[in-house]
Structure 1
């Protein structure tokens, strides 16, 4: 097929199966990095704009404002081009430089929050405050507020239908990252509507407060809710069977291991979801067809997750993680 616009390329992403022979299971990775913006957030970003236009909350030629660590921002930048809108992305020092560069290349107006933040501290609260302030000050501007926007979760309906078709209807478990809660809620709800017995496991970074654990800084980008922030209204805890945490070293070592074993480069948060999926398969908590998401690609993290010097300086190297992965997969 020949498509007419870039957003037509969103969705219909492939799936890669990684066998776990000892447990008679298959880890199925939905390759969302194949979306035009390089992440699963393309789906929800376009859906949020479509809903804003449908309800009249934003007019043609208006301004979209959003707080983002990068992937949602890239998705919004692409959708803004489609609908003739301006886009302002509010970011902090935690955003990967390559993601910011992509947004700039797409014509995005980048605004950095001010303040003295640690390297592993995510300034989500200040990002959201500034984004809301800009939307109030600028004529024709709207704050997307993805954390509380129902269209966030609604953007994953096609994802669910694709997974059901690709697995011939058999999804025994879903293991995904949880940040704003949009993808986790939308996907878990949809899969449970198809089969109520599907187990859903949500993975947050160690240091995130989503499941009531003490908050502290973490390096994983685009996932979790940091200390001082509030969990988004879009997150529906009732569709989550188990909420767990993964450390930065577990997430990043897994991403690097998967790249060397399969040739597929995944982002750091995806590494965390894969690690917990394999851990729970190995322990017998889940089995059969276990679906997870390659939320974005490792190409965006060459200077961090895939840089051994960067990891060593931050004491994030942990050979025990690779040893576990080798044991679980062999």
Structure 2
């Protein structure tokens, strides 16, 4: 498949937030299957992740509605990427920002938020490694916002400005690919990116197939809940599934365990020189599995939410992986068969 070259030139901007969007598509080889596999590399957004799109849209909507006033305070429960976007926008526009986090957040994301002037509130500094505290984070965010009349809780899981923030992503895909997109694959966390993009695409491509991917242990698509290490995706047991998970926009929901997600990310780094996040590894593995089984054909777009540079001390680290028994020798061989040798 030959892609149209994207000629957009933004030139000089006056705000960092104006650099959002227009991220590239990377085509990976699929030599033995009837599919075109494209990765939408959202790490080229400000703060290195796709959630800047929805963070910006949530703040714009809150300003327009009067819920957020000059000099006010933004509050959000976050595992990192949304917080990075909100922190940057708060600094740009003169707001205070309080991020409610747990021990699951990547250390580099916390450092970056602090560098941008954010206040960090931990809810579980003494918890065991890897456990999520999403429900407690949300409760804390609601309480802090209620105690401060000048604050606004963005509440990303239930804020309609979240999925609406990905209309631009759909527009970019249509600009480059036209209506020739058969399937969209993405991780399901708040649900905003996958459902918002799918909804916008379906205005032009009503028959679009959307594949939602969550970690084993997440409860969005049912099944027993449990612990998982994939950050910024899924809904752990005990946490509320927000309204931004629009099941009408998800054709099928599947689960990918940490072993498959992380070893896929590690393989992509060593084969293609591209560092991707753990949830991206899960989404990509689900797409590969579906293409290999003949379930998905044609043009398949996988949303890659962020890069892997913030996870170098976790799943890109051999010792970290070995300690958790997550290393796999079989999966890289499986992926090598799928992508073929470099001479294929």
Aligned to 1:281: 291
What count of residue pairs does the alignment treat as equivalent?
A: 330
Alignment of 1:37-48 (within 5 A): 37-48=47-58
Alignment of 1:93 onto 2:103: yes
Structure 1 residue 116: deviation in Å?
A: 4.8
Candidates 130, 142, 155, aligned match of 1:132: 142
Candidates 63, 66, 72, aligned match of 1:62: 72
Alignment of 1:238 onto 2:248: yes
Contact 1:19 1:25 in 2 (8 A): no
Structure 1 residue 80: deviation in Å?
A: 1.2
Q: Distance in 1 between matches of 2:231 and 2:108?
A: 13
Q: Distance in 2 between matches of 1:199 and 1:319?
A: 32
Contact 2:53 2:165 in 1 (8 A): yes
Candidates 59, 68, 73, aligned match of 1:49: 59
Q: Distance in 2 between matches of 1:19 and 1:195?
A: 25
Gaps of 5+ in 1: none
Candidates 190, 200, 214, aligned match of 2:200: 190
Q: Distance in 2 between matches of 1:69 and 1:279?
A: 27
Q: Distance in 2 between matches of 1:36 and 1:152?
A: 17
Contact 1:117 1:123 in 2 (8 A): no
Question: Per-residue CA shift, 1:269-290, capped at 9, x if unaligned?
Answer: 1001011101100101111110
SS of structure 1 residue aligned to 2:202: helix
Alignment of 1:77-92 (within 5 A): 77-92=87-102
Alignment of 1:267 onto 2:277: yes
Give the TM-score taking structure 1 as reference length.
0.98
Question: Per-residue CA shift, 1:46-103, capped at 9, x if unaligned?
Answer: 1001100100111111000000000000000111123221100000100000000000
Alignment of 1:1-330 (within 5 A): 1-114=11-124, 116-330=126-340
SS of structure 2 residue aligned to 1:59: coil
In the TM superposition, structure 1's runs of 4+ consecutive aligned residues that sit over 2 Å from their partners are 114-118
Q: Distance in 1 between matches of 2:181 and 2:98?
A: 38
SS of structure 1 residue aligned to 2:43: helix
Gaps of 5+ in 2: 1-10
SS of structure 2 residue aligned to 1:11: coil
Q: Distance in 1 between matches of 2:69 and 2:166?
A: 24
Cα RMSD (Å) of the superposition? Answer: 1.0
Question: Per-residue CA shift, 1:168-208, capped at 9, x if unaligned?
Answer: 33111011000111111101111222212211000000000
Structure 1 residue 19: deviation in Å?
A: 2.1
